Every structure is written in C-alpha cells, then in structure tokens.
Amino acid sequence: MAFNIAVAGKGGTGKSTLSALIIRYITEEIGKPVSAVDADPNASLGSLLGLHVQSTVADLREDIVEKKVDFSGMSKDRYIEYAIEESIVEKDKFDLLTMGRPEGPKCYCYVNNLLRKYLDKVGTTYPFIVTDNEAGMEHLSRRTTNNVDFLMIVSEPTIVGALTMQRILKLADSLPITIRQKFCVLNRVPKNGIHENLQQKLDSLGIEISAIFPFDQEVYDTAACGAPIFEIFRENELYRKLGEFLQKHLPASMLQKTAPDLI
C-alpha cells in the first residue's frame, strides 16, 4: 500500500508550497513516483507543480447531481471511474488529481464513496500519495481519505497560528480515521527565529514543533512570478531542511532509492 502523506494548516501558511516541495523531493531525491491530490479549494498545487488543470472532481460531482450526464451504454459507476481518471493530469514522475471547490448543500455521498474506492485503488499502485488539504482538514473529515501515515500540520510563527494548530490537532484526534504520525511545523520563520512569547504559548498548549522552516526569498520569488517549484536550486535552504525532515521521519523502507529507469 502507498505511504499516505497529508499536509494541513490554515490558509496562507505555505502548505501548498511545502506539499509541492515534498512531491519534488520524493520524485527527484528518493526517486519514487507520487500520486498527488489537491484537496484545497484554492487549488494552487497544480500551478506550483507546473501543471494546467482542466477538470476537477467537483465538476464531476456537480454534473452527476445536476443530471447533466448521459450514461447510455455505460454504467454510472464505470462512467464516474472513467471521468475521475480523465481528470488526472499525468507527468513522468507524478500524477495530480484536483478536488476543486467545496461541496454545496446537495448530497454527494455516492460520488465521494466512488472517489474513496478510487483512491484506495491508487494506493496499491503508487508508493506515495501526497495530499494538500484545505484549511481545517475538511477533506479528511469527509473521509475520502481514511488512512494517513504522516500528517504534517503547518503554521506561520504566530500565536494565532499556534491556536489554529491546536484546533487542527484536536480535530485530527476526533476524526474516525487512522492517523499514524502527526508533526507540527512552523513555516516562513524569520532569520532571528521565533518570538519567546510564541514559544511560551506553544509550551502552554503542549505543542511540540518537529521542524522550523525558514522564510525563503528564492521560493517566494519563484511563486511570485508563477514559476513551478522545480525551478529552485537543489541547494535551496528550505528544500534542504525539508529533505532533512523527511529523511528523519519517513520509514527507512520508503527512503530506499529507485533506479531512474524504473520510475
């Protein structure tokens, strides 16, 4: 089964950027393919990966609910499976499935169940799944993902961010899904480090920070001009520190490099 990495955190913390960097690190440094899922309604992961997304799962759900689809000659289940496959953007080392905007007031349970089955199927063919979640982990709470090996909760270095991190931790503990490991990280930290008041707040909340990622001008400039994250240098400090974090916390079996011709 695939090793499932989920990235969560409130908007504006850089979780989509970190998700894209994780995908780059796994595909380029570890040498293993990734099934990427953009579950953030802001849907910026594709742009960060240099992809153009034309259709989303939300579009499919809407068409089914509004009965805009002609199923003649094909079962409903088979059509949805086919449509999900068609919405995936494929690259040499990773594929991307984009969830799209949040669900409306209508019931989408049927399509969500088929999506869950599809993601379970993907889990048998890819060594890694990386999901960029929307703020608050709504994608996980809808249980389209039932099994998370590695949850990274991202916050900016502020007290408001620490309180949001605490709420996400509580939500994660309350969900009827399996989350094997949870890591809290601070992102976009200035050179002078985190403020002592923030450290005191983290201590009082019982939040252990597993990694501190610096504000990075190169990553900022790359994102500002709309270039893919693959254009930053391998020696980039943020990329290097993220790699160290993954090397420390991923299972040794997942870190074994795959020969390029097998990808």
- Both structure tokens of 255: 């870190």
Calpha distance 76→73 (Å, rounded): 10
Specify the DSSP element, H or E, that contains 185.
strand 182-189
pLDDT digits (tens, 9 = 90+) for 216-249: 999 999 988 989 999 999 999 999 999 999 999 9
Question: For 29-85, what is each residue's pLDDT tens digit?
Answer: 999 999 999 888 778 899 999 999 888 887 777 777 666 666 677 787 777 778 888
The pLDDT score that the predictor gives to residue 83 is: 81
The residue type found at 151 is L
How many other C-beta atoms are found inside a 10 Å radius of the C-beta of residue 15? Answer: 26
**Taking the domains of the chain in order of start, what are their residue ranges?**
1-250
Fold of 1-250: Rossmann fold (3.40.50)
**CB atoms closer than 10 angstroms to residue 247:** 13
Bridge partner list, 133: 39
Contact 102, 134 (CB under 8 A): yes
pTM of the model: 0.89
Tell me which DSSP letter residue 54 carries. -
Token output for 62: 């809407």
